[in-house]
């Protein structure tokens, strides 16, 4: 099984926009735990950005981890 992190968008609903910064390919994770760790790190960065005033707000519920259909 593989997993992906999806973001909720108003126009497209839930979509995977998680990409590799080197080649812009969509990222998937071999385990749920790996996806969860990546998402937790990202949400931590967003929380810090809010704390220091670089971001107004964010909603963790706009992100989810789902199994990628085979």
Check whether 14 has a pLDDT greater than 90: yes
pLDDT in tens, 36-60: 999 999 999 999 999 999 999 999 9
Please report how many Cα atoms fall inside a 13 Å half-sphere around the Cα of residue 20, on the Cβ side. Answer: 8
Average pLDDT, the chain: 94
> Against a cut of 0.85, is the pTM above it?
yes
List CB contacts of 20: < 8 A, sequence separation 6 or more: 26, 27
Q: Which residue spans within 2-57 are E strands per DSSP?
A: 3-9, 13-15
Q: Are 36 and 18 in contact (CB under 8 A)?
A: no
SS3 state at 58: coil
Q: What is the pLDDT of residue 70?
A: 75
């Amino acid at each position: 099984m593989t997993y992906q992190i999806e973001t909720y968008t108003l126009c497209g609903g839930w979509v995977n926009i998680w990409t590799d910064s080197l080649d812009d390919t969509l990222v998937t994770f071999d385990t749920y735990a790996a996806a969860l760790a990546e998402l937790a790190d990202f949400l931590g960065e967003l929380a810090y950005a809010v704390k220091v005033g670089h971001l107004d707000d964010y909603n963790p519920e706009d992100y989810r981890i789902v199994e990628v259909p085979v």
